[in-house]
Amino acid sequence: MDCLFCKIFQGQIPSKKAYEDENVFAFHDIAPMAKTHILFIHKKHTANVNGLSTIHVGQVYAAIKNFTAGTELEKEGFRVVTNTGAHAGQTVFHAHFHVLGGEKLKGFGA
Ligand code: AMP
Ligand code: ZN
């Protein structure tokens, strides 16, 4: 499987790991868009979020909940973003969930 994020969670490409459990892997984004910017992925390869079952999505959100529990992210807040397809600007086609925080984030819209 020639997939950047599969290679990252399998350890074939280095990353700064933030979290791992049986199903989910998380690592720091190489080009952070906030003070804290971590990518959560399910270990099942699928191009975008619509390929994940509701159980898989639940496992990713449970991982995010576990990771943020008791941290500044939980206390002060964070944002989860999933880009899907061209209009959203998705660039890596292994479904991923951006977790952004660590500072006051800019709002959506103009
Ligand atoms: P998206 O644009 O939603 O597909 O997000 C892809 C994200 O992957 C971007 O925020 C990139 O900065 C990030 N990214 C690309 N390559 C790497 C890498 N080798 N390690 C960590 N993050 C990466
Ligand atoms: Zn993959």
**Average pLDDT per block of 10 residues along the chain, 110 residues long:** 96 98 98 98 98 98 98 98 96 98 86
Looking at the DSSP bridge assignments, the partners of residue 97 are 40
Structural domain includes residue 59? yes
- String of DSSP letters for 23-44: SEEEEE-SS-SSSEEEEEEESS
Domain that holds residue 75: 4-101
pLDDT of residue 77: 97
Q: How many domains are contained in the chain?
A: 1
What does the DSSP 8-state code read for residue 51? G
Alpha-carbon dihedral sign for residues 48, 85, 30, 100: negative
Question: Any residues with Cβ below 6 Å from ligand 1, and which?
Answer: 4, 15, 27, 29-31, 39, 83, 89-92
Kindly give the distance from the C-alpha atom of residue 31 to the centroid of ligand 1, in angstroms, as a whole number.
Answer: 7
Q: Which atom of ligand 1 is nearest to the CA of 29?
A: 22
pTM over the 0.85 mark: yes
Looking at the DSSP bridge assignments, the partners of residue 36 are 101
CATH of the domain at 85: 3.30.428.10
